[in-house]
Structure 1
Amino acid sequence: MSATIRRTRLFASALTAVALLAGAGCSSSEAAEPDAATAAGYNLTPEQNRITTDEVPEIAAKVPQAIRDRGTLVVTGSAGTAPPLRFYADDDKTIIGSETDIAYLVGDVLGLDIELTAADWAQNFVRIDSGEADTFISNVTVTEERKEKYDFATYRLDSLAVEVKKGSDITFSGPKDIAGLTLGVGSGTNQEALLVEWNEQNVAAGLEPAEILYYQQATDYYLALGSGRIDAYVGPNPSSSFHALQTGETEVVGTFSGAGLDLQGEIAVLTKKDNGLIGAIHAALNHLIENGTYTEVLERWGITSEALDASEINPPGLPKKQ
């Protein structure tokens, strides 16, 4: 058995344990609040009994003809394990989570089967560019730079978290608090861009520089956090909150918008720009919001605090670096 599979199974076992224990209660903390209500009975199996909805022919008609003829929407996303967003079931191969549930619901409305694929973060953009995948649905933040090449239809707020070992004296209320820390972050993500920018600002102001280390897999950055190689991990708030709840060894000491301090970031479905698909996806998402199945998915995964009232196409995103 490979080391990767062993780590995946250990991670799944930890999730199972938290599902059994959460019903008995948990300590009050900022990190536990978003997910505590749904951790009990957490379904890790390939048989997800997903929330479904009916096809809406007038929305399905908006899908480009080539995709309608194919009958399948190819969805790419992160290959990493990041509950409750996108991760592997206890068979080590079936991709489950809130992001996949949203994808399947969009497919229902559009009358399309969903083909889920996985790749490292940067490779997902390559798959969209080449036409290998139709959509990228995996906690993708809208940014102004990305909008030059891609279209977006939003479906969730983007909140990032600073996660540290429980009992550390690290706090976070703003960019100055990263000075002197060793931080783990996913390469090529918007949180990386924010940390680099904040670090440059801090150094210019005479503060001690932070060291930023890059990781692709959740198992890797949590091993680094547990061993003390990094002081904090900066990533999606739903994943950090869930991890803190399920292990009891870490805590979230601060959150901020994925678009920085001056703009609320939003998570969106990404498609190739001007290929005619985003209008159908946008209409499908708003239908899901209106019929309540969208809310059911967020409730199922404990992330209702990141709900949107309506989907938007290409809203203001994380600004370009000056």
Structure 2
Amino acid sequence: MRTTFLRPVLLATLLGLSLTACDAGDATPQAASQPAASGINITAQQNRIRAQKVDEIANLLPEGIRARGTFVVGTTGNGTPPLSFRADDDKTIIGVEPDIAQLVADVLGLKLDLQATSWENLFLSVENGQYAAGFSNITVTEERKDKYDFATYRQDTLAFEARSDKDLSVREPKDVAGLTVGVGSGTNQEQILLRWDEQNKAAGLKPVKFQYYQNTSDYYLALKSGRIDVYVGPNPTAAYHVAVDKQAKIVGTVSGGGQIPADIAAMTKKGNGLADALQKALQHEIANGRYAEVLKRWNLTNEAVAASEVNPKGLPRK
């Protein structure tokens, strides 16, 4: 999954910083509730939740990574709170993705070397071995499994966001019939909506009017002005926007795979021997509760997984 987002420091300054999580979706879209917003730290002094080295898991590392002593992790860091974004010093990369990468690095006994990069370069750099892993809201797909191995750590959830004064609820495909919908081109959410639209038209319902803009801030301006009825994007960033904007609400959620459950995972080069160590490190932190503390810190408890898996079934090939 990929998206762009408004600069968090500007939003925090203008609107006050808080984050609201919505109820997690499953294979069926659901209406989302809005619990009370809570403050969140966007300073460079993060005081991350830390873990201890576990020798039996660290011993699973490929020799090259163990000898180097650093865990080089790629993340976009391009302004997608609360996933991976820059702190108020406009330099330090913070968010739930860096926090989970830090837990894994600690368990493996490695120093975290977090590298901010573009979405496209992230995949290239993991494939060529420049980065040991990618932590950047990466959805597991069957096509990606051709080149990469995965260790899961969050549910992939999408949210439908509308203006606060709109009487909308998105629970199933018919609920978007006739609406003007903003969605990113080439994203998983676009593919889901296109399938829904075809299903609706086959049932004699009105078609969706799709609107595409250059970046997410343009979508939010269109939502605020009424040029679109609903915007569809990743649940974490939608929840953040709802909290800081105060003029929007989440009206439904759905799995990032639509009718198919989808997973967010750490990504590493296929066959390099690292995936098993990543999975066991993640599972260790899930079991001892520190993983849950990290998700709670960013109000993403609703996207927690009960167990980490290596290379689960991914979204089908297009």
TM-score interval, normalised by the smaller of the two chains: 0.7 to 0.9
Q: Give, in angstroms, the shift of residue 123 of structure 1.
A: 3.6
Q: Residue by residue, what CA displacement relative to the aligned partner does 1:213-241 show, whole Å, maximum 9, x if unpaired? A: 45675434323322334332212212212
Q: Give, in angstroms, the shift of residue 268 of structure 1.
A: 1.0
The corresponding residue for 2:291 is 294
Contact 1:32 1:242 in 2 (8 A): no
The corresponding residue for 1:279 is 276
The corresponding residue for 2:114 is 116
Please state if 1:13 is matched with 2:10: no
Contact 1:31 1:240 in 2 (8 A): no
Q: Residue by residue, what CA displacement relative to the aligned partner does 1:65-114 show, whole Å, maximum 9, x if unpaired? A: 22222222222223432222222211122111111100111111111222
The corresponding residue for 1:193 is 191
d(CA) in 1 for partners of 2:203, 2:116: 41
**Other structure's SS at 1:117 match:** strand
Q: Which has the higher helix share?
A: 1
Contact 2:11 2:17 in 1 (8 A): no
- Written as runs of structure 1 = structure 2, the 5 A alignment for 1:244-255 is 244-255=242-253
Contact 1:80 1:218 in 2 (8 A): no
The corresponding residue for 1:175 is 173
Q: Give ranges in structure 1 of 5+ residues lacking alignment.
A: 23-28
The corresponding residue for 2:53 is 55
Structure 1, 94-103 or 79-88: larger mean CA deviation: 79-88
Q: Give the counterpart letter for 1:276 in structure 2.
A: G
d(CA) in 2 for partners of 1:223, 1:70: 47
Q: Give the counterpart letter for 2:179 in structure 1.
A: L
Selected match of 1:268 from 265, 268, 290: 265
Q: Give the counterpart letter for 2:308 in structure 1.
A: S
Contact 2:8 2:81 in 1 (8 A): no
**Other structure's SS at 1:198 match:** helix
Distance 1:89 1:231, change over 3 A: same
Q: Give the counterpart letter for 2:11 in structure 1.
A: F
Selected match of 2:307 from 301, 310, 313: 310
Selected match of 2:67 from 55, 58, 69: 69
Q: TM-score, normalised by structure 1?
A: 0.84
Contact 1:77 1:136 in 2 (8 A): yes
Contact 2:7 2:79 in 1 (8 A): no
d(CA) in 2 for partners of 1:98, 1:247: 21
Q: Give, in angstroms, the shift of residue 32 of structure 1.
A: 2.7
Q: Give the counterpart letter for 2:9 in structure 1.
A: R
d(CA) in 2 for partners of 1:291, 1:76: 26
d(CA) in 1 for partners of 2:314, 2:214: 23
Distance 1:225 1:201, change over 3 A: same
d(CA) in 2 for partners of 1:252, 1:273: 37
Structure 1, 272-281 or 227-236: larger mean CA deviation: 227-236
The corresponding residue for 2:146 is 148
Ranked by relative contact order (alpha carbons within 8 Å, sequence separation 6 or more), the top structure is 2
The corresponding residue for 2:25 is none
d(CA) in 2 for partners of 1:80, 1:233: 20
Q: Give the counterpart letter for 1:300 in structure 2.
A: R
Q: TM-score, normalised by structure 2?
A: 0.85
Contact 1:154 1:313 in 2 (8 A): yes
**Other structure's SS at 2:277 match:** helix
d(CA) in 2 for partners of 1:312, 1:154: 5
Q: Residue by residue, what CA displacement relative to the aligned partner does 1:280-310 show, whole Å, maximum 9, x if unpaired? A: 1001001111222111111111111221121
Contact 1:82 1:218 in 2 (8 A): no
The corresponding residue for 2:41 is 43
Distance 1:180 1:314, change over 3 A: same
- Written as runs of structure 1 = structure 2, the 5 A alignment for 1:152-163 is 152-163=150-161
Q: Give the counterpart letter for 1:284 in structure 2.
A: A
Q: Give, in angstroms, the shift of residue 130 of structure 1.
A: 3.0
Structure 1, 241-250 or 274-283: larger mean CA deviation: 241-250
Distance 1:70 1:182, change over 3 A: farther
The number of residue pairs the alignment matches comes to: 304
Structure 1, 116-125 or 297-306: larger mean CA deviation: 116-125
- Written as runs of structure 1 = structure 2, the 5 A alignment for 1:118-133 is 118-133=116-131
Distance 1:188 1:103, change over 3 A: farther
